[in-house]
Structure 1
């Protein structure tokens, strides 16, 4: 790559949603390969982090039609050609498909919504090509976990069709596309909008009642954890280490807050627990946006975890309750977001309905979860310890959310703060059934 091309990389990376950080100080190409006369694959080092790029080239002049409205995808003119994100180019995307899943062909290609950390394309409404952007040594958790779950017979994941690996690093994956699927977040919001707009006081009396789906989602979540325990084995629970991580986050986020002392007390209760179940591989970033409802039932998506965290941390075993807590927090967020869509006066009058919806659906999810054979062996056997551990994981998630909202959506920080106060009430929020 010429110096002129390298000079284009830093401003390009700074504009990408999947780039973690602001404008990089230093960018250099550390590996590259020509995949097509118009497509260059490369790995760049940006301030010590590695990212994967697929750069397309076109003759200079008017940008191709597919680049209209995608100014952030342009690198610029260099060496007599126009450089851009090659995954926006249908013909070049097909070249990448052939590298990841040899023998697979496609006619139609479209982007799969906006992603924070990767780039995914839908091909012929039959396949999904996911290109990992930020790279780390070792197997990508999304590839690793999906393959392992398939091997032990867990069918609620999209089937792997092909993977692209280079020097031990997973670069991309092709999976089946779940064409009939609707994500859990959209379904929950539809249920809440129906409930908020109805005359029913009880969410069970509303036509869009979500409880049946929540129960089935709980069952799939439990089967996921039992299958993960089978695929990756289990270890002795380590509540002291889990509590220490929660306490460190608390000190970073809310050490001076009024809720810090009772939060420390709750985490101390987890630390002192002598029978906390088992530690297993978990999803790690589990919420309504990571599950898809299809004609065949619920499917679980995206096992990559939080890409900003080191790979070894994302692969570390934890309590299955970490995932359960994440989904329960997502239910609370859904009720609050749907409420925010209403006018201020209406929000006040409907607040009790949001709480009723959340109570009903968290109870349904937990009922479904605890009904699955084998999951009890992974959890604290004492109901009081089970309740305490789940509240601790929920509280930890809510503290994380406070930090996120402060940085990105200050007007929403009241959502996780409300959850924190509920979880720390003397009698505690009813968490288990």
Structure 2
């Protein structure tokens, strides 16, 4: 390994090359993968392989991003894991000599032909952000060889004014331009069009769903004759007051505080019949006394926007990527194989983590293990011959964090799909009810998170708060279903009759709760009680009768 010294305790890599030719050096490419990037990416928020053992990194593509002033490189990395699977990541890189531009946020020290400087993530540099924005505005498809910068028809931007990275680093990196546009740079990439790009473009070009950011442009890499990688998606920036998770959790906290002040007798509060549809005007006064009607109006408005999203996604008759499809035996085989594999994985996780659990969490985990045959049977009971509704392209990872709030209205974002799924699986057409199950599980999370984070402040025992939670949750579900079903059926979207809707919803709720259990046990075991409680409630639905 070539190195001349340590600077600030970090190795400085020395090459007899300048920046223009550095990426052509075999030694640099090898050391970049083996010695420089491996420790770097392990600490990045966007790196999704933290739970696996990294084996080695390879560069599978490297291309220049340049104008008359600056040269950057885009590199696509293949990260190989010891468990015999791979991830691909996109990282634009730059070489800077002025540390004041990047502070301590650099990848490595480099010495190039005697010039000392820093290898950095190019997104930190305004010059890079400006260059890619201007290339999207130019929209010339072929000028940059294998990289295509495209400008959407709705893009009214005239010129570059300003840019900044969004404060919260997520699984992707977002840049705000001119305080009006947002460019999402995909960090984990796939040799296929990203679903977020596909669906955003479709909804904008068809002009059929207004409550999602408009598609304004993209950056794609032609990886082979038949395959492209989506590197970036530009959309309008929707002014907002935060996401729906923050919004509803805030209102739930106020609701439970009001409940605690009023101290109603809990026997006066009853949950609805399981999955019963309810008009807001039919919500009992005893519930509205401490949970304001505005809360349920918000739930209904979110249901309306969700319905409109599905109506838009379900009306295509030409583009086969979006045309609705009937259920089929192929779909059932795909679904059952996927879910049984996922379920067995979760059972193993629970068994391996039992020693870490206690109290109610341990009781619920043991209940899950005692009923694993029942759950397995429910997952295998999916029978496409009984289903008359249609499958659509759906959101696929729909929860309250994927919704922005603006003046008590809702804007749906991030159509990338479930992080755990392959890119092909994310594009499989599914019952729109799966999105509904996702948002219901999210509401369930919001209620129980509010209880677990604040229960010491409330005037009830934990078991009593759980009873209140089920009353509140069942009415949220009822109001949402009433609005949603009325809207989609008025638009003739085929989601089936009520028995089919209830079967699919029950099935998808169980699927979602099982999926969540794996995430919680791996990422934050203390929260595993929420999906465990959800699975228990779904299996014991007679509680609602």
- Fold shared per TM-score above 0.5: yes
Q: Match for residue 83 of structure 2? A: none
1:194 aligns with one of 243, 254, 270: 254
Instruction: Kindly state the Cα deviation for residue 51 of structure 1 after the two structures are TM-superposed.
Output: 1.4
1:247 aligns with one of 340, 357, 372: 340
CA–CA distance in structure 2, aligned partners of residues 276 and 394 of structure 1 = 20
CA contact (8 A) 2:240 2:404 kept: no
CA contact (8 A) 1:282 1:323 kept: yes
CA–CA distance in structure 2, aligned partners of residues 109 and 363 of structure 1 = 44
Tell me the SS of whatever aligns to 2:179: coil
Tell me the SS of whatever aligns to 1:378: coil
Instruction: Kindly state the Cα deviation for residue 416 of structure 1 after the two structures are TM-superposed.
Output: 0.6
CA contact (8 A) 2:62 2:73 kept: no
CA–CA distance in structure 2, aligned partners of residues 116 and 21 of structure 1 = 14
CA contact (8 A) 1:158 1:177 kept: yes
Within 5 Å, give how 1:230-269 maps onto structure 2.
Answer: 230-231=315-316, 232-238=322-328, 240-241=332-333, 242-254=335-347, 257-269=369-381
Q: Does 1:408 find its partner at 2:536?
A: no
Q: Match for residue 91 of structure 2? A: 53
CA–CA distance in structure 1, aligned partners of residues 49 and 436 of structure 2 = 30
Q: Deviations over 1:287-311 (max 9, x none)?
A: 0011112248321101111344222
Q: Match for residue 74 of structure 2? A: 41
Q: Does 1:182 find its partner at 2:275?
A: no
CA–CA distance in structure 2, aligned partners of residues 74 and 203 of structure 1 = 55
1:361 aligns with one of 476, 494, 500: 476
Distance 1:210 1:273, change over 3 A: farther
CA contact (8 A) 1:32 1:41 kept: yes
CA contact (8 A) 1:194 1:208 kept: no
Q: Match for residue 297 of structure 2? A: 212
1:99 aligns with one of 135, 152, 155: 135
TM-score by length of 1: 0.89
CA contact (8 A) 1:100 1:172 kept: no
CA contact (8 A) 1:335 1:358 kept: yes
* Cα-Cα RMSD: 2.6
Instruction: Kindly state the Cα deviation for residue 400 of structure 1 after the two structures are TM-superposed.
Output: 0.9
CA contact (8 A) 1:270 1:388 kept: no
Q: Does 1:226 find its partner at 2:311?
A: yes
CA contact (8 A) 1:132 1:171 kept: yes
CA–CA distance in structure 2, aligned partners of residues 96 and 250 of structure 1 = 43
Gaps of 5+ in 1: none
Distance 1:266 1:106, change over 3 A: same
Instruction: Kindly state the Cα deviation for residue 149 of structure 1 after the two structures are TM-superposed.
Output: 1.6
Within 5 Å, give how 1:136-151 maps onto structure 2.
Answer: 136-151=190-205
Instruction: Kindly state the Cα deviation for residue 136 of structure 1 after the two structures are TM-superposed.
Output: 1.2
Tell me the SS of whatever aligns to 2:533: helix
Report the number of matched residues.
423
CA–CA distance in structure 1, aligned partners of residues 452 and 416 of structure 2 = 30
TM-score by length of 2: 0.72
CA–CA distance in structure 2, aligned partners of residues 33 and 428 of structure 1 = 61
Instruction: Kindly state the Cα deviation for residue 115 of structure 1 after the two structures are TM-superposed.
Output: 4.5
Q: Does 1:155 find its partner at 2:155?
A: no
Gaps of 5+ in 2: 1-22, 81-85, 139-156, 223-227, 265-285, 317-321, 352-368
Tell me the SS of whatever aligns to 1:45: strand
Range that drifts further, 271-280 or 326-335: 271-280
Tell me the SS of whatever aligns to 1:342: helix
CA–CA distance in structure 2, aligned partners of residues 394 and 276 of structure 1 = 20
